[in-house]
Structures are given as C-alpha cells and as structure tokens.
Amino acid sequence: MLQPIFLTPVFKERIWGGTLLKQEFGYNIPSDKTGECWAISAHPNGSSIVANGEFIGKSLAELWKEQPQLFGNPSSDVFPLLTKILDANMDLSVQVHPDDSYANSHENGELGKTECWYILDCKKDAEMILGHHAKTREELEKCIEDGAWDDLLRKVKIKPGDFFYVPSGTIHALCEGTLVLETQQSSDTTYRVYDYDRRDEAGNLRELHLEKAIDVTTVPHQDPDVCPKVTIKDQAVVTTFVETEFFSVHKWDIHGQASFSSDDRYLLVSIIEGTGRLTYQGERYSFEKGVHLLIPVGFNDFNIEGQCQLIVSHP
C-alpha cells in the first residue's frame, strides 16, 4: 500500500548561518553556524533519508532510481527539485545562478537554478537584494569593477508571508535576520558577485565568480509576473504562488479538514506551522511543524486535518 514518505533532512553549516533552525523547528543542528536545512533533497551533495515504511533508511536519490513508479516513471535521471529552509543570521553573498543551458555546459551537466522564497520570518524592516539597476552589461561590469554596490544593487522590503520568484539570471541575496523556505531546481551552483570582503575560518577571502556571474546575469533586470491565486477547499485556504516550467508552489492553510489528491504527480510537502494528521485508506500519519514528506503519484483522496500551514510543491 502507498504511504507518505517522511524524510530526514541534511544540514549545512554556512559562514552566515545561526541557530534558528533549532529554535524554530527543534532540529538537531551541527553547530551555531547552521545556515541550511536541505529538507527534501536527492542532490549528490546531500540527500534526504527516508524515515518510515518499507523504504526506511534509503536516500531519496536511491528511491528515485530504484522505485520510479512512486514518481510516475520519469524519464530524467535527476530528481528535479530541492526544498530548503535557510537561516540568514548574517547577510548572504550577493549572487546569481545560471540557467539549464549554461550550467549544463559550464558545470558538468548540473541543472540551472531557478528558485523561489517564502518568507517564514524576518526582523522588523528587513530587506533583501533582488535585481540590479544596470541598463547594459557594460554598466553592470563597471559597477562591479568599481565596487559601486549602492548604485548597482536593488533592495526590496520584506515581511513574513511574502513570496518571491527568483529566475536564473537574477542577482539576489537574503539579508540578516531572515528565515526562508526555498523551493528550487536541484542544483548547488552559485556564482558569487560580492561577499562583503568576508574571510573564511582560514582567513582567506571567499571565492568570487565574476566572469561567470556577468555572463549569466539578466540585463536589464526583469521582475517576473507573479500573481498568486487563492481558492477555498473544504476547510483550507489554498494559495497558488507560482506555476512555471520548473515547479509549482502552493500554501495549504488548514483550519479543520480538507481532502486532496496527488493524481499523476508527486508532491513535496513541508509543514511550516502547527500540527495535523494525514489520513489515507484508513491509515493515519501525524505531523508537526518542521516535518517534511513526499506524497507519491497515485496517492488519491487523502485527508488532512488540524490547525497547520503547509508549503507544497511539484514539478
């Protein structure tokens, strides 16, 4: 019988990380510089592990290869998505990601990286860097060469509950005091543009990737057209943030009970608030804030009840 597949995350220490992943979600983090929870991942640099059922102990990467029917028998060898939670205790480096074509030819066949952010929490009057003001690539190069960051970088105000779609080619950076759930293509390729002259533990300046960054940056910056849609489903408010060629991302805000189906697609589910219970074919599965799971293809007519918020994505 099909079951929801609960997953154990992988944690990554980062120079800009902190302790919010432990404080907010109760995770057993490796240090007080933990910046990333790779919650649903089959990437070679860190794959989630199945925590229940007949596949317990297997990695999501192994499951993708060995049990393709759970995912609708996909043609690709690569699990396409990666769900993270990021604790930006300090400013992240100003960065940009390549698209599929550039990454494939320059990064040994890696996927490109289009991503999106749901702001779980942030400090008052928080900002992030999203885009730039250069009108031409020559102007972009000159601003980078001169270190004219105040002239170049575009800052936007953020608040909890905001959603941002960040296509490949977008210069961006999360700033200090931000907790974010990120849905992205399964890629670990980042081109740093500026890192505030920070040094690593060995005292070395962190590597920049200026030539590649200038190559892939969209000039002039283009804001994507994102128009969230809200529908009511039983006792749930369903917000569809974005539907693109890479992924669709939704929020299920449940106050009571609602019925759903995965039909011909698998779902990546992260509980970001509250507690609840999933019921499928008479079996009940409890969950709480900080739990992540995958719902296989064909998982039809399941119920979720409780007081909870879920971020749900699929290719």
Chain centre to alpha carbon of residue 20: 17
CA distance 69 to 71: 5
Q: Are 135 and 82 in contact (CB under 8 A)?
A: no
CA distance 304 to 284: 10
CA distance 138 to 25: 45
Per DSSP, what are the bridge partners of residue 204? Answer: none
Helices (H), the chain: 20-25, 60-66, 100-106, 137-146, 149-152, 210-216
The H or E element that residue 247 is part of is none
∠ CA 119-300-252, nearest 5°, is: 20
Give catalytic status of residue 154 as yes or no: no
Residue 25 burial (10 A CB sphere; 0-12, 13-18, 19+): buried
Q: Are 238 and 250 in contact (CB under 8 A)?
A: yes
Catalytic: which of 137, 192, 198, 284?
Answer: 192
- Annotate 161-194 with b (16+ C-beta within 10 A) or e (fewer): eebbbbbbbbbbbbbebbbbbbbbbbbbbebbbb
Q: Are 251 and 311 in contact (CB under 8 A)?
A: yes
Residues with catalytic annotation? 192
